[in-house]
Structure 1
Amino acid sequence: MPIAIGVDVGGSHISSAAVDIERSEIIKGTYFHGNLDSKASKEEIFERWSSVINRTLGASEGQGVSGVGMAMPGPFRYKEGIACFEGNDKYEQLYGVSVLNELPGYLDKDVSLRFLNDATSFGVGGALMNKDKNGNRVTAITLGTGFGAAFLERGIPETAGSRVPENGCLWDKPFLEGMADDYFSTRWFLSRYTELSGENGLKGVRDLLEVTDIDVSRIFEEFAQNLCSFMLPHLRRFETDLLVMGGSISRAYEYFLPRLRECWNKDGLDIPVAVVPNTEEASIIGAAHLYDHAFWNEVKDRLPEK
């Protein structure tokens, strides 16, 4: 069976696992995770990344690993493997560094590297994990510390054309008094709670579910209404037939998804929604899919510049 390593690079963690590309499944015993400081030096970051990847490579010994696919946050020159992090409070010591050329020096085996945007990796992996739902046009969104999105037609990411937003991204698109990322991320929930209660101290949406001083259903109702109105034109324009959802906020889907569906139904939109319970797993599978030959041939010449 063809095997590749998938790596999910986050702002405070890295995880990796070997993936059976044909089955789109993580191979048992090959998953490893580590925390890190994204403000550390280049050498420290590469050492931390490689320590996790090397454990997966070691656990995959003798299985014929095709290469390492990495789900990377932007800005990043994905085709060339060059980091462009500047002014965004993470991995700034990698600015202008060729991850493609320098990271292999820290790895225990001679393997090739390929790169894909982290939101796109989740979309690819999430679609593969839900291929039984027969979605030809899949829109994937991640709701967490930030708002990520990907649009896929028959499994291939679309980043240009009249049916998708510019660069295939949604986080930076205007919404209400700011941009979408301001309203569909954890910080919106925390800010809204403070506005309504006058209290601070919550760290995430999970904490919000435990408060008793206000009716939190009001916050989720507002979130669902906002997400409905923002996503509606994008889903229609792409003719989405499956919405894949992940991220930490999606774990509380029972508090907002019924209202979201109801809102879309009122506008004549009825789209199946697949909530991915493990966003990291989907991202790893999506990154490893860069070593599926047919997929790579489709995307290699149109990877985003940043």
Structure 2
Amino acid sequence: MMQNTTIALGVDIGGGHIACSAIDTTSGRPIPNTTSTSKVDSKGSSQQILKCWADCINTTLEKIDKSQLKGIGFAIPGPFNYQKGVAIYELTDKYESLYNIAIEPAIMPLLNLDETKIRFLNDASAFAVGAAWCGKAWGTKKSISLTLGTGFGSAFIDNDLPVIKRSDVPDQGCLWYLTFKDGIADDYFSTRWFIREYKKLTGETVKGVKEIAEIARNHSQANNIFLEFADNLASFLMPWLKKFEPEVLVMGGNIMKAADLFLPALKGLINCDVQVDIEISELMEEAAMIGSARLLDDDYWHKIKPHLPII
């Protein structure tokens, strides 16, 4: 590593895991052999959760020259006050013990560090910022990023910044809560939709999309679930693609591991009506860590801070 390299740690907080990596702040790329991961009991006490997070971060800190560290960026799901760094997990089924806790002063004593900057960004926004900084949305002015997994994450990016309040985006710049068919978008564009539809079709319960995809590659009935998913997603996205006019739609998350079963259909349906590049994120899980690490660029932080949602 060059002596003048500066480093930011990018932390990705999931519903049941944490991942942390050292990011080169010049290139935006993860530094090899610095990634740490751990499972997290999201129903544990605040002390248990914070210690688990700190242990993972400390493992990455052991692999870097701490004198080069600019700070730590967290990609973390809402509800959360991102400007103040306060968790608002109430009646969320995950991380409820962190309710109303300011994360920086709570975790700092557990880190093997002197004082450092800690900044926070919504996990879906961090994925989108990472894609715009050095991923599939690099070099574009406007992009939409989606994460498809246990939940439905999304972010609208214009000039490298998330858009959360404008006439061409939904309120808070996310799509998951919008009405769709008999529920909301999150009901239809997440793992549980696939599990529900497969059970309706076969009467069998499976753990996730991976199992359904393996079956679908040999059975047309199961394959039809993926084609229905493509049809639903295209019809839901179309109004926002027309309003926002992105140059690229970047897609990530675990459901994209079955992209061969629905992406060709999705592209065909969307590109009949709207011209937009549709790309699978090559960064996948790294994108959120890269995006959160960008918060330690002070110029970028001052630009993005007014655009941070507080939920």
TM-score norm. by structure 1 comes to 0.96
Q: Give CA-to-partner distance per residue, 1:151-198, whole Å, 9 cap, x none.
A: 001211110110111110100000011100000000000100111112
2:232 matches 1:226: yes
- Written as runs of structure 1 = structure 2, the 5 A alignment for 1:105-254 is 105-110=109-114, 111-130=116-135, 134-200=139-205, 202-211=206-215, 215-254=221-260
Letter matched to residue 193 of structure 1: Y
The alignment yields a C-alpha RMSD, in angstroms, of 1.4
2:20–2:60 Cα contact (<8 Å) kept: yes
2:87–2:100 Cα contact (<8 Å) kept: yes
Q: Tell me which of 32, 53, 63 is aligned to 1:28.
A: 32
Letter matched to residue 92 of structure 2: N
Question: Distance in 1 between the 2:23 and 2:29 partners?
Answer: 6
Residue equivalent to 2:262 = 256
2:135–2:282 Cα contact (<8 Å) kept: no
Question: Distance in 2 between the 1:27 and 1:51 partners?
Answer: 19
Residue equivalent to 1:11 = 15
Letter matched to residue 227 of structure 1: L
- Gapped regions of structure 1 (runs ≥ 5): none
SS at match of 1:6: strand
1:197–1:213 Cα contact (<8 Å) kept: no
SS at match of 1:139: strand
SS at match of 1:86: coil
Question: Distance in 2 between the 1:49 and 1:248 partners?
Answer: 22
Question: Distance in 1 between the 2:263 and 2:194 partners?
Answer: 16
Question: Distance in 2 between the 1:248 and 1:131 partners?
Answer: 17
SS at match of 1:216: helix
Letter matched to residue 128 of structure 1: W
SS at match of 2:165: coil
SS at match of 1:259: helix
State the Cα distance separating 1:90 from its structure 2 match. 0.6
2:67 matches 1:55: no
